[in-house]
Amino acid sequence: MKKYNIGIDLGGTKILCVLTDEKTNKIDFEVKKKTKKIKGNKNVIQKIYEAIDELLKISNVNKSQINSIGVAAAGQIDRNSGVLLYSCNLECVNLNIKELLECKYGIKTVVGNDVEVSAIAEMIQGAGKDYNNMVCIFVGTGVGSSVIIDRKLVLGATGTAGELGHTIVQADGRMCTCGEAGCLEAYASRTAIETRIEGMIKKGEYSIIADICDTQNISTKHLKEALDAHDRVVTKCVDDAIKYLSVGIANVINFLNPELIILGGGIIQGIDEFYVKTVRSSKEKSLLIASEKTEFKKAELGDYSGVIGASMLEKYYNAV
């Protein structure tokens, strides 16, 4: 009888839930649910239930065929207890994902931070498979990152190592969703870009964005369309984000001297200009010898890095 794992990527805007072949990690079935307006412990866990139930229904797979459920969650995680301690984007506090899913489905559940789980997938099956030391940085709703040394995740004393998005790039700068001021995430995330564009439009500056979409729902596709049209507002906001992101990455290069930096997330995958300019600026801002030895690659697994990593989570944690 064929065996499977369930992988769940729980993000600020969507839940992606997949069923993967236990041997090959190939995705056989998938379900996607929006989470942008779904906030709080009760609502988030209910949305996870809905995604799993729909996945089991469309796949016609019996629960006895499933080895594990792996969850990649956006936020701070207690890996031992499987608790989502805090997620500002989901507005969750002390959500015991592991206990709730194991109680409902009777399947062993493992929970990890979404970026570290994506990094595991990229290390094992993606852009980092031939490297030992790397930093994975994903630009999306926030700016998430994870550090891998000797092919093992660096977790730190409290399990929160690698929070590049919450390093300070502007003292007393913009407020971040974490409650601090001047975080990289408040300057370089897609959310930060969207917020700044909307603000400039409200102040009376013209942008093609106002003609092609709702300014509160700007997608990467809309940003690319505006950049291709040489829209002044969007170009300025994107260039400013690149400037701050490259400062953060230059600090990583100088401090950690990694072999490889993997860049991922929708804005990296969808806008080549953003990726190219970020790499060039990061190298220019970092120490010469270190930057010459640091390679850059785009994440190879795209939107599926989180769920593929989540589906491998139990095996990875058991192996280290």
- Residues of the chain above pLDDT 90, percent: 79
∠ CA 154-45-35 to the nearest 5 degrees? 85
CA 246 – CA 285 distance, rounded (Å): 7
pLDDT tens digits for range 149-161: 999 999 888 888 8
CA 85 – CA 76 distance, rounded (Å): 5
pLDDT tens digits for range 224-251: 999 999 999 999 999 999 999 999 999 9
Mean pLDDT computed over every residue of the chain = 93
Higher pLDDT among residues 143 and 319, named by residue: 143
Local structure of residue 176 (DSSP, 8 states): P
- Please, which pLDDT band fits residue 274 given cuts at 50, 70 and 90? very high
- Please, which pLDDT band fits residue 294 given cuts at 50, 70 and 90? very high
- Please, which pLDDT band fits residue 319 given cuts at 50, 70 and 90? low
Question: What integer pLDDT is reported at residue 15 of this predicted model?
Answer: 92
Identify any residues that bridge with 32 across adjacent strands, giving them in sequence order: 16
Report residue 262: phi and psi, to 5°: -100, 125
Domains of the chain from N-terminus onward:
4-119+304-319 (3.30.420.40), 129-299 (3.30.420.40)
pLDDT > 70? residue 24: yes
pLDDT tens digits for range 193-209: 999 999 999 999 999 99
- Residues of the chain above pLDDT 70, percent: 99
- Please, which pLDDT band fits residue 320 given cuts at 50, 70 and 90? low
pLDDT tens digits for range 4-22: 999 999 987 789 999 999 9
Alpha-helical regions (H) of 126-208: 185-188, 190-202
